[in-house]
Amino acid sequence: MAGQVAVVTGASKGIGLAVTRALLAEGVAVVAGARDASEELDALQAWAEVDFVAVDLGEPDGAARLVDAAAGRGRLDVLVNNVGAVTPRLDGFGAVTDDQWLRSYTLNLMAAVRTTRAALPMMLAQGRGSVVATCSVNAVLADPGVIDYSAAKAALRSFCKSLSKELGPSGIRVNTVSPGPVATDLWLGAGGVADTVAGRQGADPSAVAAAAAADSVTGRFTRPEEVAALIAFLASDVAGNITGADVVIDGGLITTT
């Protein structure tokens, strides 16, 4: 992948930061989008080909500004739609407001729709490209505790599958990666899922996390570097005939027959 250019959203921490590192290791120049930088991302910029763009993809014009930064490099080979957010809904469906539904759909679906729409002209002109979106097992493992997030991720998966059929003949592949619980701040940090659920239950966040890990046959959370390696593989020409796929990385959380 040396010499290619990628846009990664939500790149300052968690899975997005791990993807940025994985692509840099393959010789890819990365345009890293996030609302705020991080110490880890700043450190990467000191020695690697990383352009940080401060952007809020919850805003309608954010995607175009991010992709414009890639246009300055003259090409765009890979788009990783990673940005997203989840908030546990512990008071039931009736307590989830319209604004909360709209925020979930904006960050987990429309950010990817808008960024992909902005990126496609360059990819179509090149006659090649790869789009990978970070989805979730909740796209199929519907959970009332994250009801709006589950619905938005199901929509993201369907969007990517539909788009793969349209763009395949043009040399552009579209895939999704669906992790189970991942060892990032989204799950394990202050205000994360484990912390929020523990606060309601009067439990210890580590106990909530341990119970979630125990649901997987491997008995642990996926590491962000493992998700990143899978995304880098799907983005590369090694996976040149994989499109329209949703690849699950969940430690066996979802059982199949």
- 152 and 206 fall within a common domain: no
Starting at the edge strand found earlier in the chain, the sheet holding 29-34 runs: 50-54, 29-34, 5-9, 78-81, 129-134, 172-179, 246-249
- 141 and 130 fall within a common domain: yes
> Cα(135)–Cα(120) distance, rounded to whole angstroms?
20
Q: Which residue has the tokens 């395949």?
A: 168
The pLDDT, as a whole number, for residue 257 is 52
Q: Exposed e or buried b for every residue in 130-161, given b needs 16+ CB within 10 A?
A: bbbbbbbbbbebeeeebbbbbbbbbbbbebbb
- 174 and 190 fall within a common domain: no
pLDDT tens track for 195-247: 888 888 888 888 988 888 899 999 999 999 999 999 999 999 999 999 999 99
- 107 and 190 fall within a common domain: no
State how far the alpha carbon of 131 is from the alpha carbons of 120, 161, 186, 249, in Å.
10, 11, 23, 18
As a three-state string, the secondary structure of 68-128 is HHHHCCCCCCEEEECCCCCCCCCCCHHHCCHHHHHHHHHHHHHHHHHHHHHHHHHHHHHCC
* Regions of the chain with pLDDT less than 50: none
Give domain status of residue 87, yes or no: yes
- 207 and 113 fall within a common domain: no
Give domain status of residue 256, yes or no: no
- 228 and 214 fall within a common domain: no
Give domain status of residue 215, yes or no: yes
> Cα(6)–Cα(73) distance, rounded to whole angstroms?
10
Instruction: Show the tokens assigned to 249.
Output: 């990385």
- 202 and 174 fall within a common domain: no
- 97 and 171 fall within a common domain: yes
- 217 and 232 fall within a common domain: no
- 190 and 237 fall within a common domain: no
Give domain status of residue 69, yes or no: yes
- For residue 87, give the CATH number of its domain: 3.40.50.720
Alpha-helical segments (H) within the chain: 14-25, 39-45, 62-71, 98-105, 111-126, 147-167, 185-188, 193-201, 205-214, 224-235
Give domain status of residue 44, yes or no: yes
Q: Give the domain extent around 205.
A: 181-221
Half-sphere exposure of residue 44: CA atoms within 13 angstroms, side-chain side: 25
Which residues are part of the catalytic machinery? 149
- 143 and 34 fall within a common domain: yes
Taking CA 224 as the corner, what is the angle to CA 222 and CA 226, rounded to the nearest 5 degrees?
A: 70
- 227 and 116 fall within a common domain: yes
Give domain status of residue 236, yes or no: yes
Give domain status of residue 254, yes or no: no
Q: What domain count does the chain have?
A: 2
Give domain status of residue 166, yes or no: yes
> Cα(6)–Cα(32) distance, rounded to whole angstroms?
8
